[in-house]
Amino acid sequence: MQIYGETFDSRLMLGTARYPSPDILRQAIAASGAKIVTVSLRREAAGERAGQAFWDIIREAGVSVLPNTAGCHSVREAVTTAEMAREVFGTTLIKLEVIGDADTLQPDLFGLVEATQILSSEGFQVLAYTTEDLVAADRLVEAGCRVLMPWGSPIGSARGLNNVYGLRAMRARFPDLTLIVDAGIGVPSHASQAMELGYDGVLLSSAVALAGDPVKMAEAFRLAVAAGRLGYEADPLLPRDMAEPSTPVLGQALLGGAVLS
């Protein structure tokens, strides 16, 4: 998976919040095979034991950190949070979220484009949390974004891919852009479906953190993402309206001992 010119071995990205314990978080990261984990600025408690313990886990896991602007509801808040995150985490990568609706946590597409323009001009490498709206996607690319992260469904809903047509259309519109399905993934089959559509990766958090066994679920998602990508690369059989026999008719035995020639 290519993220602003850097290659990562895993196509699965993992959130780090709401795990039952630091040890389970550590095990889940290892089981997932993820090379990038997301973290909000609020997660980093500078100078406190909790913050230090979190950073110990990240260092031991050997993964890259992708800070995000989770919970920001305005352009100013998102930009300020991103600027602070750059100082704290030492990276220009930022997963940009500008939330427009408190109930669905749907992105504010107008604010997202504006924030992308500002941050891109400041040297940030933006990964934009967006919808499958193609017009907004065009504007984000024009603003300098090179990684789009459309939602599958609302954050934490576990509903999977609500608009497969829209996601497929986005993949077709931007064949050379890195596209990552973010939000709404609930079970491994959802992740596999996203990969079968040709997406470059999947980001998930609650589906693992809140599972009965987060470590097993992390491994399940690792396998699902790999299987989905292999299925996409294998050029799968497309759906058809009529039946087609899988066994050849030519050479089929007939009653009376005759054989078709």
Binding-site residue positions: 156, 183-184, 205-206
Cβ–Cβ under 8 Å, residues 130 and 112: yes
Query: How many C-beta atoms lie closer than 10 Å to residue 109's C-beta?
Result: 19
**Structure tokens that stand for 130 in this block:** 């967006």
**Structure tokens that stand for 2 in this block:** 């290519």
Q: Nearest 5°: phi and psi at 175?
A: -65, -25
Q: Which residues are annotated as part of the binding site for 1-deoxy-D-xylulose 5-phosphate?
A: 156, 183-184, 205-206
The single residue listed with the structure tokens 């990568």 is 93
Cα–Cα distance for residue pair 175/124, rounded to 1 Å: 23
Q: 206 CB contacts (<8 Å, ≥6 apart)? A: 15, 18, 155, 156, 158
Measured between alpha carbons, how far apart are the two ends of the chain, in Å? 51
Q: Is 95 a catalytic residue?
A: yes
Cα–Cα distance for residue pair 211/180, rounded to 1 Å: 22
The catalytic position among 86, 95, 190, 222 is: 95
Nearest to residue 167, comparing CAs of 184, 179, 159? 179
**Structure tokens that stand for 114 in this block:** 């504006």
Active-site residues: which are they?
95
